[in-house]
């Protein structure tokens, strides 16, 4: 009977359950070739079924190559395995080895350092350049394009190129220093364990600063001028306007950029480091991912490699959760509900 | 327009242009060096480090092309990138639509599940992905690589498409459904034609990512004839590291496709790759 039918379509709900809307629904059902009286999927049931069909392929693929690997990694980390012979249960032993693995923690430290230094540099430079560009300048969009070019190039390609830039014999860096008489500043950019990691950081900064600059520029251009003018009328200096009006309005953009850089520092450094130094010299440029791959592929210690992956996943996951929390906090209106 | 900070005012135009010019030089010169080095003879390469080549040696490109089988690598890259796009875009768009617009049990759970996927970035699950692929017989196959790369891209793409869908007015589907469409029919008829900008974003992000991908590809692809461009370049630079002009030619060939595409479609690239950062 009509009285106990749940309001089940958005149209009906929007119309407040009105009888005439009900008649429209009946008509629609007839158009679809269904007799409204016979048992059939309600409009809501249709929606649910469609939703499941729509979501299923993505969910299946995601489960297969994202969810299952996480659990597989956890499972393997509790065994000793070389990839060929049967797995041997070892419980939490691998985690014990990982905790004691000096090189792993050195690599983690390098990774963290890499993430922090490059994030600060990329964002400071990006924001600074965006501020400079945020005025009618000739050639601004040309400059934007040029600065963005390295973003589109592969890390391995840039890494190989910069290995040559750093080359002590034909590289342009030492050549440039020589040309201005600062030849004595030339270092073993990639061969000196103390500075190799920083040399690699420079490449990451070179690639990504343009990206952050573009994002900051877009953010700056969305700052409403009337708010700034009002502040100016109230006597705020340029610096005060920047600090108290512009920066707070840029907060979501800053959060996005900073977290993107940090997570990138943890997870995209494999390509660059592998190609430039392979983790050397003497593990001075070893990062978490390169060491995990070495442990697993070269030393065939898949169990311990998996344990390391789990540890890294926990750390990166925590950072990612912070990112999600911070990003969705400002969007409570369009949150799922 | 925009903020005039103290920094901007103090510096004035002259210093600004100087800074920008320096940044321009630092950004562009390594690439210029790469292209000009690729056209030099070996002697020119050592002797004339800075300037353009004395006589362009286009033969270097031919050499690099044949020695490195770069033609085959480019074909592989195209296949892998296209395949990844073909898998990711429909799956992500459909799933994002359902999560954003349809009410069904488990919707919140799925929203957070895929959101968690963004917090699990590429590479951290690389080793287990290898074992899963191994168990499915997908190692060293193009299909396997495509599926793996697509799976990695799903979480981010679903997230982006969701917020895109949420910005569309609800009346559109309601109007279609009053006319007798099923929910998916409403999607195909009314919503799908409007998703072009969102899909353009997906194509740029997933496309560039797949084209430049090295890590997972190097793990999953074992035979030379299946290698993509990045993997092939690394292999080439390892094997032929003494023939510098040819190596630079190979690098240039590696960089050119993406650079050319970028120059032709700057706005799409930039807005696509930075999507999600600033709500338009």
Burial A239-256 (b: 16+ CB within 10 A, else e): eebbeebbeebbebbbbb
Task: Give the whole-number percent of chain A exceeding pLDDT 90.
Answer: 28
Q: Mean pLDDT: which of A12-16, A222-226, B242-246, B259-263 is highest?
A: B259-263
Any chain A CB within 8 A of the CB of B92?
yes
Q: What pLDDT does A181 receive?
A: 76
Q: Do A135 and B4 touch (CB under 8 A)?
A: yes
Cα–Cα distance, B266 to B280 (Å, whole number):
18
DSSP character at residue A286: -
Q: What pLDDT does B255 receive?
A: 92
**In contact, A47 and B99? CB cutoff 8 Å:** no
Which tokens go with B262?
């970028």
Sorting pLDDT into bands at 50, 70 and 90, what band is A36?
A: low
**How many angstroms away from the CA of B63 is the closest CA of chain A?**
19
Q: Is residue B120 helix, strand or coil?
A: coil
Sorting pLDDT into bands at 50, 70 and 90, what band is A2?
A: very low
Q: What pLDDT does A200 receive?
A: 94
Average pLDDT in the B11-32 region? Answer: 87
Please identify which residue in the block is written with the tokens 């048992």.
A39
Q: What pLDDT does A330 receive?
A: 54
Sorting pLDDT into bands at 50, 70 and 90, what band is B87?
A: very high
**In contact, A181 and A175? CB cutoff 8 Å:** no
Sorting pLDDT into bands at 50, 70 and 90, what band is A12?
A: very low
- Tens of pLDDT, residue by residue over A249-300, are 888 888 888 888 888 888 888 999 999 998 878 888 999 989 988 888 888 8
A206 neighbourhood in chain B, CB within 8 Å: 26-27, 30
Q: Is residue A88 helix, strand or coil?
A: strand
Cα–Cα distance, A189 to A174 (Å, whole number):
9
B4 neighbourhood in chain A, CB within 8 Å: 135, 238, 241
The count of other CB atoms within 10 Å of the CB of residue A13 is 13
- Tens of pLDDT, residue by residue over B164-177, are 888 888 777 777 77
Which tokens go with A295?
């442990």
Rg (CA), chain A: 28
Strand partners, A79: A89
- CA of A241: which chain B residue's CA is closest? B5
- Tens of pLDDT, residue by residue over B204-232, are 999 999 999 999 999 899 898 899 999 99
Residues 6+ apart with CB under 8 A from B99: A55, A336, B107, B110, B111, B114, B158, B162
- Tens of pLDDT, residue by residue over B120-166, are 767 778 888 988 898 888 999 999 999 999 999 998 899 888 888 88
Average pLDDT, chain A: 82
First and final C-alpha spacing in chain B: 17
Q: What pLDDT does A20 receive?
A: 65
- N residues, chain A: 337
- Tens of pLDDT, residue by residue over B238-273, are 887 778 888 899 999 999 999 999 999 888 888 888
Cα–Cα distance, B190 to B40 (Å, whole number):
56
Of A225, A10, A159, A173, the C-alpha closest to B233 is A159
Cα–Cα distance, A117 to A138 (Å, whole number):
32
Q: What pLDDT does B197 receive?
A: 82
Q: Is residue A109 helix, strand or coil?
A: helix
CA torsion sign, B47 to B51 to B57 to B58?
positive
The count of other CB atoms within 10 Å of the CB of residue A210 is 26
Q: Do A137 and B16 touch (CB under 8 A)?
A: yes
- Tens of pLDDT, residue by residue over A286-332, are 999 899 888 888 888 888 888 998 898 888 888 877 777 776 665 44
Which regions of chain B does DSSP assign to beta strands (E)? Answer: none
Of A24, A204, A219, the C-alpha closest to A117 is A204
Burial B135-164 (b: 16+ CB within 10 A, else e): eeebbebbebbbbbbbbbbbbbbbbbbbbb
Cα–Cα distance, A298 to B49 (Å, whole number):
38
B122 neighbourhood in chain A, CB within 8 Å: 267-268
Of B146, B244, B118, the C-alpha closest to A323 is B118
A83 membership: H or E segment, kind and range:
none
- Tens of pLDDT, residue by residue over A103-159, are 999 999 999 999 999 999 999 999 999 988 888 777 888 999 999 999 999 999 999
Cα–Cα distance, A154 to B38 (Å, whole number):
18
A58, A228, A241: residue with CB nearest B92: A58
- CA of B51: which chain A residue's CA is closest? A172
Sorting pLDDT into bands at 50, 70 and 90, what band is A3?
A: very low
Separation of CA B170 from chain center: 32
- N residues, chain B: 280
Q: Is residue A295 helix, strand or coil?
A: helix
At A16, phi and psi to the nearest 5?
Answer: 75, 30
Chain A, 37-76: which have a CB under 8 Å from a chain B CB?
A: 43-44, 46-48, 50-55, 57-59, 61-62, 64-66, 68-70, 72-73, 76
- CA of A41: which chain B residue's CA is closest? B182
pLDDT at B10 over 70: no
Task: State pTM to two decimals.
Answer: 0.83
Residues 6+ apart with CB under 8 A from B119: A316, A317, A319, A320, A321, A323, A324
Chain B, 5-64: which have a CB under 8 Å from a chain A CB?
A: 5-9, 11, 16, 19-20, 23-24, 26-31, 33-34, 45-46, 49-50
Cα–Cα distance, A276 to A166 (Å, whole number):
10
Cα–Cα distance, A206 to A161 (Å, whole number):
12
DSSP character at residue A182: -
Q: What pLDDT does A336 receive?
A: 41
> CB-based burial of residue A1 (10 Å sphere; 0-12 exposed, 13-18 middle, 19+ buried)?
exposed
Residues 6+ apart with CB under 8 A from B228: B73, B76, B77, B80, B213, B217, B221
Sorting pLDDT into bands at 50, 70 and 90, what band is B95?
A: very high
């Amino acid at each position: 009977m009509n009285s106990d039918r749940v309001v089940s379509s958005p149209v009906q709900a929007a119309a407040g359950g009105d009888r005439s809307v009900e008649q429209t629904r009946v008509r629609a059902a007839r158009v679809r070739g269904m007799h409204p009286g016979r048992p059939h999927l309600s409009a809501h049931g249709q929606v649910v079924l469609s939703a499941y069909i729509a979501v299923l392929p993505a969910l299946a693929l995601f489960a297969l190559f994202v969810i299952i690997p996480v659990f597989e990694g956890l499972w393997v980390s509790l065994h000793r395995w070389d990839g060929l012979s049967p797995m041997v249960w070892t419980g939490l032993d691998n985690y014990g080895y990982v905790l004691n693995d000096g090189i792993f923690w050195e690599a983690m430290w390098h990774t963290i350092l890499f993430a922090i230094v490059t994030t600060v540099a990329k964002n400071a430079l990006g924001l600074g350049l965006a501020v400079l560009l945020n005025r009618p300048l000739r050639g601004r969009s040309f400059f934007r394009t040029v600065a963005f070019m390295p973003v589109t190039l592969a890390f391995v390609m840039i890494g190989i190129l910069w290995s040559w830039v750093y080359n002590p014999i034909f590289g342009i860096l030492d050549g440039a220093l020589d040309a201005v008489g600062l030849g004595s500043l030339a270092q073993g950019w990639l061969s000196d364990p103390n500075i190799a990691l920083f040399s690699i950081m420079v490449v990451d900064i070179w690639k990504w600063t343009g990206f952050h600059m573009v994002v900051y520029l877009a953010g700056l251009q969305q700052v409403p001028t009337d708010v700034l003018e009002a502040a100016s009328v109230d006597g705020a200096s340029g610096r005060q306007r920047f600090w108290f009006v512009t920066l707070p309005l840029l907060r979501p953009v800053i959060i996005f950029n900073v977290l993107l850089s940090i997570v990138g520092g943890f997870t995209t450094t494999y390509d660059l480091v592998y190609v430039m130094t392979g983790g050397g010299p003497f593990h001075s440029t070893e990062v978490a991912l390169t060491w995990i791959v070495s442990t697993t592929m070269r030393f065939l210690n898949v169990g311990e490699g998996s344990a390391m992956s789990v540890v890294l996943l926990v750390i990166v996951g925590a950072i990612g959760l912070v990112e999600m929390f911070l990003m969705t906090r400002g969007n409570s209106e369009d949150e799922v509900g | 327009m925009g903020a005039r900070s103290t920094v901007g005012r103090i510096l004035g135009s002259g210093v600004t242009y100087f800074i920008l010019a320096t940044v321009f030089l630092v950004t562009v010169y390594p690439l210029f060096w790469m292209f000009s080095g690729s056209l030099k003879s070996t002697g020119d390469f050592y002797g004339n480090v800075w300037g353009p080549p004395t006589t362009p040696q286009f033969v270097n490109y031919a050499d690099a092309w044949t020695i490195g089988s770069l033609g085959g690598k480019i074909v592989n890259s195209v296949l892998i990138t296209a395949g990844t796009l073909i898998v990711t875009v429909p799956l992500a768009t459909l799933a994002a639509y359902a999560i954003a617009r349809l009410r069904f049990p488990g919707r919140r759970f799925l929203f957070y599940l895929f959101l968690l996927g963004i917090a699990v970035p590429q590479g951290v699950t690389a080793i287990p992905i290898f074992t899963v692929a191994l168990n499915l017989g997908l190692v060293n196959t193009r299909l396997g690589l495509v599926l793996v790369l697509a799976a990695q891209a799903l979480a981010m793409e679903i997230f982006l498409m969701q917020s895109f869908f949420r910005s569309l007015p609800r009346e559109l589907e309601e109007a279609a459904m009053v006319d007798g469409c099923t929910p998916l029919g409403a999607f195909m008829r009314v919503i799908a034609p409007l998703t072009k900008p969102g899909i353009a974003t997906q194509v740029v992000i997933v496309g560039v990512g797949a084209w430049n991908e090295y890590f997972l590809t190097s793990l999953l692809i074992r035979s030379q004839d299946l290698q993509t461009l990045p993997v092939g370049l690394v292999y080439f630079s390892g094997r032929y590291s003494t023939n510098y002009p040819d190596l630079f030619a190979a690098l240039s060939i590696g960089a050119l496709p993406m650079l050319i595409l970028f120059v032709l479609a700057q706005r799409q690239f930039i807005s696509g790759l930075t999507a999600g950062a600033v709500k338009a």
